Amino acid sequence: MAAVRTVRPDPLGDRFDFHSHSFLSDGTTSATDMWNEARCLGHRVLALTDHLSLEDPAPLLRRLHQEARAWDGEPFVPLVGVELTKLPPRKIAAVARAARRLGAEIVLVHGETVAESVPAGTNRAALDSGLVDILAHPGLLTAEEAELAEKNSVVLEISARRGHALANGHVARRAEEAGALLVVDSDAHAPDQLVPGARARAIARGAGIAETGLRAVLEQTPKTILRRCRPS
């Protein structure tokens, strides 16, 4: 467990990150440790979105909520979520529904990354379900899939994670053509993989997003997602 450190405000404004993992799936440390580090980096939001397949989502969500409550009363927002990972595409909607019913504030789907094999049809099922907030690392998504993302208000992800990031340029271009929303997530599996604001900016620029488009990706869309997850 990392020692408690001082909070450093991010000079570039609030940082929002909707994708990370703890040792409740394949991360290296606890949700509390991840949230503490994010808070020290000056993040406004970090979602813990541990991998979920066909198992019961209840124990994972119960534990994440238990740890999230420790930050009650602070400006930092620890979101509780899941990343639906490598399940048969036809099961995605039902599992997303079950996770939401059991308290998931945000639902991601592990998209068809170029870095590993993911069941074909995963992107499509996630975009069709009406129950998914973010399609993570969607890889070589098609123009039709990008249009569906726009139509169904599913946010597409620019990923800081090695491997998944290889298709960031393609994802950004498809999203721009279709008018779909984008966000930059760390997909951190350890505290030192969290992405401060300056690095998120560089990753967005590296994906081909113009300087004029950065505010939408790094601030406006994240605020929209947050309002959806935590309606006030």
Query: Could you list the residues that contact Zn ion (CB under 5 A)?
Result: 83, 110, 136, 187
Question: Which residue's CB comes closest to Zn ion?
Answer: 110
The distance of closest approach from Cβ of residue 137 to Zn ion in the complex, given in angstroms and rounded to an integer, is 6
The distance of closest approach from Cβ of residue 25 to Zn ion in the complex, given in angstroms and rounded to an integer, is 8
> In terms of CB distance, is 83 or 105 closer to Zn ion?
83
Tokens coding 130 = 């009406």
Q: In whole angstroms, how far apart are CA 199 and each of 104, 105, 207? A: 28, 26, 12
> In terms of CB distance, is 20 or 221 closer to Zn ion?
20
Question: Residue for token digits 């740890």?
Answer: 67
The distance of closest approach from Cβ of residue 4 to Zn ion in the complex, given in angstroms and rounded to an integer, is 26
Taking the C-alpha atoms of residue 182 and residue 18, their distance in angstroms, rounded to an integer, is 12
> In terms of CB distance, is 32 or 113 closer to Zn ion?
113
> In terms of CB distance, is 75 or 187 closer to Zn ion?
187
The distance of closest approach from Cβ of residue 19 to Zn ion in the complex, given in angstroms and rounded to an integer, is 6
Estimate to the nearest angstrom the gap between the alpha carbon of 215 and the chain centroid: 18
The distance of closest approach from Cβ of residue 57 to Zn ion in the complex, given in angstroms and rounded to an integer, is 16
> In terms of CB distance, is 42 or 138 closer to Zn ion?
138
Residue-wise over 39-68: b if at least 16 C-beta within 10 A, else e? bbbbbbbbbbbbbbbeeebeebbebbbebb
Of 9, 21, 29, residue with least CA distance to 136? 21
Q: Give φ, ψ of 84 to 5 degrees.
A: -70, 120
Contacts with 100 (C-beta within 8 Å, 6 or more apart), sequence order: 107, 131
